[in-house]
Structure 1
C-alpha cells in the first residue's frame, strides 16, 4: 500500500495537489537513490573526496539520468561488467553489436554529463 501511495501521488497529496494527475515516474527520476549514491561514491573515489567533487559527481548522475533511462543504464553497466570476464561468455558480450550499442549509448550520455558538469562549471 505504501508503495502505491508513493507512486500514485503521495507527493502530490503532500503538496496539496490531490486533484492534479501524477505520472508514476519520468525518466529523470527513475534511478533509485541507492544507484545514485553508488554512482556518486564511485565518481568521488575517482575524482577526489572534496565538496567540488561531490557537486560535480551529483550533477553528473543527474545529467546521466536525464539522458538515459535507468533500465538502459543497468543494461549497459551489466554489459561492461560481463566484458571484464574471460571465456566464451565474455567474448559474446564483447563481439555482439546489440551490446556495443548499449555501451555506446552509455558512453554518449557520460560524455554529455561530463560536458555539462565538468567543463561547463557547476
Structure 2
C-alpha cells in the first residue's frame, strides 16, 4: 500500500513542477493580486482586474526574469556593500524599465 501512495506523491509533485515551469506559479500570481488589490481596492471587481493584469504580465515577461527582478529589488533594499553592487547597475535598471512597461500595458488593458 505504501508504494502506490509514494508513486502518487511523486507524480503529483512532477505535475506541480511542470506547471511552475510553464509560467508563474500560483503563489506568485496570488501574491501579485493581493498587492495589487491593496493598492487599488479590496473588492471583487478589483480582484478580477488585478488577476487580468498578472496574467498579461506573465504572458509577456518570463518568470525567470521576474525572479531575477525580485531578487534585485530585495538586494537594492538591503544595507551594506554587497547591496551597493546591485544599486544603479545598468542591467537592473533595464530589467526594471522593461517590467514597468509591461505592467503599464497590462494595467491599461485590464483597468
Structure 1: how far apart are the matches of 2:101 and 2:85? Answer: 22
d(CA) in 2 for partners of 1:88, 1:39: 29
Q: Where do 5+ consecutive residues of structure 2 fail to align?
A: 1-9
Normalized against structure 1, the TM-score is what?
A: 0.71
Residue 34 of structure 1 corresponds to 27
Structure 1, gaps ≥5 residues long: 8-23
* Match status 1:68 vs 2:68: no
Candidates 41, 45, 63, aligned match of 2:38: 45
Kept in 2: contact 1:80–1:103 (CA 8 A):
no
Structure 1 segment 1-122 matched on structure 2, within 5 A: 1-2=10-11, 3-4=13-14, 6=15, 29-118=22-111
How many residues were matched structurally?
100
TM-score of the aligned structures, taking structure 2 as reference length: 0.78
Q: 1:51 Cα deviation (Å)?
A: 1.0
Structure 1 runs of 4+ with >6 Å offset: none
Partner of 1:11: none
Equivalent position SS for 2:102: helix
Q: Distance in 2 between matches of 1:80 and 1:108?
A: 17
CA distance in 1, matches of 2:98, 2:107: 14
Task: Return the structure number with greater helix share.
Answer: 2
